[in-house]
Every structure is written in C-alpha cells, then in structure tokens.
Amino acid sequence: MNKALTQAIGLTFITAGVSWAYISSDHDYLQSTVPAFDQKEHQPAGAATVARLHTRSYIYPVANMDRFKQLGFWSGLSFFRDPWITSPSSTTDRDGLGPLFITRSCITCHHAGGRGPMSKEGVHVPSSLLLRLGSTIEGINKVDPNYGGQIQPRAINLIHASITSEVQGEAMLDLAYSPVNGQFADSETYQLRMPSYQLVKLSHGPLASDIGLSPRYAPNIYGMGLLDAISESDLLAQEDINDANQDGISARYNRVTNVVTGNKKAIGRFGFKAKHPTLEQQVAAAFVDDIGITNAMFPDENCSDVQLGCQQVSALGYQGEVEIRQKLLNFVNDFSKFISVPPARQLESVIAQRGRAIFYQTGCANCHTPRYVTNSEYDAPELANLTIWPYTDLALHDMGPELSDGVTEFDANGNEWRTPPLWGIGLQRKISGSNNFLHDGRARSINEAILWHGGEAKPAQLGYLLLTKNQRKALLRFIQSI
Ligand code: HEC
Ligand code: HEC
C-alpha cells in the first residue's frame, strides 16, 4: 500500500471490504481542517445564482442578466432543444442533420440541462451514452481509421441520383453489468455494478487493434460559463504534478489544442477528460460530432475514407458554407454560457453541516475544490468577479483501474478523469429523472459514485468506508444540499 495512503487514513486495509485494522490512535483519519461556514455558500453562483420557479429544469439564465440578453438566451435554447432535420428542407436555419449523427438535438442527451436517459442493458442504439474512440497506447493520440473519434450510431436516409452507396449508422452497443460486492467497515454490505461494453453490427468491420472505446454519459451542463470564467492562474496554482505537497494527489491539467488560436498546450476544462479548452470549442465540437452540424470551427463532416455514402451526401451540400451560421451558433454559445446554478438547499441544517465537516475531513475537497472567485476580466461581466462554489479543480486525476477506459485523450491517460463539479447534483434526480453518476453512468446513486473512487482518490474512498452509517448519511446530505 502506498505511504501517502496509509498516512492519510491511518489504517491497514487488508482485503477489500473484509478485514480492517486501525494502525494507531495518533492517526485520526478525520484530520483535515474544516473552514468556517460562509453564508455565501448558500448562493453557489454568487449574484448569478437563480432560484427555480418550478423544479423540473436546470435551464434558467443567470439572475443578473438584462432582459435583452435573456432574449438571446432563449433563442439559444431553441437551437439546443429543437430537432435538426435533413437537408434540403424548407428551413435552412435548422437543417443539415448528419449524414452520420448520434441524436437530432442537444437536449436529447442533456435533458433539462442535466443528464439524459441512461442506456439500458442489452443491444441498443445509444443516445445519451456517447461512445468516444481513441488510442489504447498511452501518449498516442489517434482515432479509428474507419469510424473516426466517435461512434455515430445513426444516419440520415437520403435518396438522390448521385448517391450510390448507403449511409449507414456505425454500430450498436451491447451493454452488460456484473455485480461487485463490498462492505463498509461497520459491516453493512453494498453492491456496485461493473459495466462491460461491446460494439455490435459495426458497419465497416472491427475497430483498429490499437483503438479502444470510451463510453461517456452526457453530463450536466449548468454553470459551465462560470467554470469557463475561472482564471487560468487559479487553476494552475492547484497543479501538483509530482505531488510536492505529499497528499497522495497529483492534480494535473490536460494540455489540449485550441482550434482557434492553434495553441497546442491550452489548458483543457470541458469534457470528462478535459478535451476542450473553451466552452465555445466544446459547443462547436458537439454540433459536428454529435449532430453532424458543421460550423466555422469544425467545417468538415465526420466521414472517413471508407464511408463513401457519407462523403457523397456531404458533397451535395452547399460547398464552402457551414450548416450553422456563426450568428446562430453564438446564441447556443451564450445559452450554454449563461445557464445558472440553483441555490443551496437547507445547507445550514445540523446534518448537512456535519456532512460538510466530513467532506473536508475525508479529503474530498482536495480534488473537489469548493470555492473560486471568477476572473474579473472575463468577457461576460455577469460572470466576472463572482464568488462561486462548484466543488471541482477541473484537473485530471488517476482514479484507478476500475474506472479506467484505457483510452488516451491528449495528455490524459486511461485512468485519468477530470474532477466533475458537484453543485446542484442533489437536484439531478428530481430535475432530469436521472440518478446515474460518473463518466459512464454506472453509479446509481451518489453513494455508489463515491464507492467507485480509486487511485488517487482511494484514501478518500477508504475514509468513506470507515464512516459510521450516520456519518455517511450526513456526507450524502451535504452533497444533496450544495
Ligand atoms: C449524443 C449525446 C450528446 C449530444 C447530442 C450533445 N452532447 Fe454535450 N456532451 C455529451 C457528452 C457525453 C459530453 C462529455 C464529452 C467528453 O467527455 O468529451 C458532453 C459535454 C458537453 C459540455 C461540457 C460539459 C462539461 O462538464 O465539461 C457542454 C457545455 C455540452 N456538452 C453542450 C452541448 C451542446 C450545446 C450540444 C448541442 C450542440 C450538445 N452538448 C450535444 C453528450 C452530448
Ligand atoms: C483524487 C481526486 C478526488 C477525490 C479525493 C475525490 N473525488 Fe470525487 N471525483 C473525482 C473524479 C475525477 C470524479 C469523476 C470520475 C469518473 O467520472 O469516472 C469524481 C466523481 C465524483 C462524484 C460523481 C459526480 C457526478 O456528477 O458524476 C461524486 C458525487 C464525488 N466525486 C464525490 C466525492 C466525495 C464525497 C469525495 C470524498 C469522499 C470525493 N469525491 C473525493 C475526483 C476526486
């Protein structure tokens, strides 16, 4: 067992969930200091926080936005929500779907601004569970020669004299789970489910031998503008690649390509492995990769050399023109930027406050960084200079082999995932109907999400296993409240 781990927890962990022995009383695992409660925690997005008028949607514009800008926000929603259709059509603003695509609209995956319906077991055409493809060799970035960087399971059906080859959806997914049994230190048992993923009905033969599958369950997308507004220097101040502070955690930022500036070492922030450096790039990539809508940042359809039907259909479009004009794309950018975060709920209850202390004491805050003040120079004044409480460092962490997808994405290896924000997830079930968590939705509750933590987060997970039932309840209540 690694030294930092024993130090952090002060216990010997003999066989997973079966046998426990505490080392000594001078190692109290509940040892990190707990900052005094700040009344500002009630408003996780500061002045931008907005109370929900009804509880079935995350989609509200930030509270401090003027009415004119709000009109743009709601126009953005319409391009996010309404299905795209096959071109040519009577409406050029919303056509251009495909040729290959995953779903017809953003909202299918990001239901109510949250997470979409999670895939069920068995063979199916997935929607919210997106299947990224990448290299299984660490440090090598490449995509599959036949399928590209993502499986698009759907295709448009277009009849035209010049099309001699059918456009085919790329594959279906066979999803299965097997049980993983474990035990808390107080001997209460639990059961997790380990997923396995198999592509079936591949339209162009098997994946290349060095290409692996990385399943990604569509995340919540509220508060993204505020994450975009965190100063790069505040992020980099948390970087600790060689674990100089010896807390067993080596926060590291992904270094990715900014397709606008050409910078190949931009700090990644968005996506489960922080593939995109800016919110604009994330949105533009979603259009082309998920819906097949080309745009100024990504002007080419996703057709590989062997996908002749896809190429033929693309050639029918207006050459030199993209499918979503910049003006309309800007509406969706603003929409994505200004979705607000809900206020905290009953955060000052005795139980939530007890859970808050445990959150700091078990080391959750070492990755789920509670607080920032956003950049005062950020280009949207509504989001600038706000005290926010997102609970993420946006850095990559080795989360251990069980969460690994084995796939490289820029500097991120298979084991590495970006810490997700935790604000508002307590409302997820009520709002979007999904109680699934983690990058692939395998966790069926917040409790299960914590139990899956491994690698650098193993000490925190062991700390969780050692809590009493009431302490666990309190921690979960805190996360439900933030
Ligand atoms: C097929 C499902 C799907 C569709 C359609 C889709 N997304 Fe996503 N979205 C995802 C997944 C999965 C991720 C995580 C991607 C990754 O890990 O790189 C994501 C990530 C994001 C993020 C970043 C979230 C974060 O925490 O970093 C934003 C913002 C976003 N999508 C907006 C959009 C917009 C806008 C559209 C429509 C143009 C869209 N998405 C369409 C599945 C989808
Ligand atoms: C070493 C960094 C690290 C530590 C420490 C850590 N986490 Fe995490 N946490 C992550 C990462 C990275 C993920 C995403 C993993 C994935 O998606 O596979 C995550 C995911 C989660 C999720 C799921 C969120 C979602 O929307 O899917 C919850 C809940 C969570 N952590 C709570 C906690 C709690 C509570 C603790 C303390 C007991 C903790 N974490 C400690 C890095 C950490």
Question: What are the pLDDT digits (tens) for 266-287?
Answer: 999 999 999 999 999 999 999 9
CB of 272 shorter than 6 A to ligand 1: yes
Cβ atoms within 10 Å of 187's Cβ, excluding its own: 9
Q: How far apart are CA 184 and CA 361, in angstroms?
A: 18
The response to whether residue 392 sits with its C-beta less than 6 Å from ligand 1 reads no
Cβ(476) to ligand 2 under 6 A?
no
Range name among 16-30, 156-170, 192-206 with the lowest pLDDT average? 16-30
User: Residue of the nearest CA to atom 27 in ligand 1?
Assistant: 270
Residues 178-189 have pLDDT tens digits of 999 999 999 999
Q: Cα(48) to centroid of ligand 1, in Å?
A: 22
pLDDT in the model for residue 199: 98
pLDDT digits (tens, 9 = 90+) for 62-72: 999 999 999 99
**343-360 burial by CB neighbour count: b if 16+ within 10 A, else e?**
bbeebeeebbbbbbbbbb
Tokens of residue 153, six digits: 């399971």
Q: Work out the number of other CB atoms within 10 angstroms of the CB of residue 64.
A: 17
The per-residue pLDDT for range 317-332, each reduced to its tens digit, is 777 789 999 999 999 9
Q: Is the CB of 80 under 6 A from ligand 1?
A: yes
**Per-residue confidence (pLDDT) for residue 31, from 0 to 100:** 58
Q: Name the residue with tokens 């979409």.
A: 116
- Please state the atom number of ligand 1 nearest to the C-alpha of residue 269: 27
Q: Is 153 in the pocket of ligand 1 (CB under 6 A)?
A: no
The b-or-e profile of 382-418 (16+ CB within 10 A means b, else e) is bbbebbbbbbbbbbbbbbbeebbbbbbbbbbbbbbbb
Residue 103 CB less than 6 A away from ligand 1: yes
Query: How does pLDDT run across 195-224, given as a tens digit for each residue?
Result: 999 999 999 999 999 999 999 999 999 999
Cα(218) to centroid(ligand 1), Å:
6
pLDDT of residue 288: 96
Residue 87: the pLDDT is 84
* Stretch among 5-14, 140-149, 337-346 having the lowest mean pLDDT: 5-14
Q: Per this entry, what is the length of the chain? A: 482
The whole-chain average pLDDT of the chain stands at 92
Going from the Cα of 286 to the center of ligand 1, the distance in angstroms, rounded, reads 6
Name the residue with tokens 């695992």. Answer: 29
Ligand 1 atom, smallest distance to 276 CA: 18
- CB of residue 410 inside a 6 A radius of ligand 1: no
Smallest Cα–Cα separation from 389: which of 371, 405, 403? 371
Ligand 2 centroid to Cα of residue 120, in Å, is 23
Cβ of residue 423 lying under 6 Å from some atom of ligand 1 = no
Give the residue-averaged pLDDT of 413-428: 98
Mean pLDDT of 396-400: 98
The confidence band for 91, taking pLDDT boundaries of 50, 70 and 90, is confident
Identify the residue whose C-alpha is closest to ligand 2 atom 6.
364
Q: Does position 265 have pLDDT exceeding 70, yes or no?
A: yes
Ligand 2 centroid distance, CA of 95 (Å): 39
Measured from the CB, is residue 271 less than 6 Å from ligand 1?
Answer: yes
| Alpha carbon distance 454, 315 (integer Å) | 48
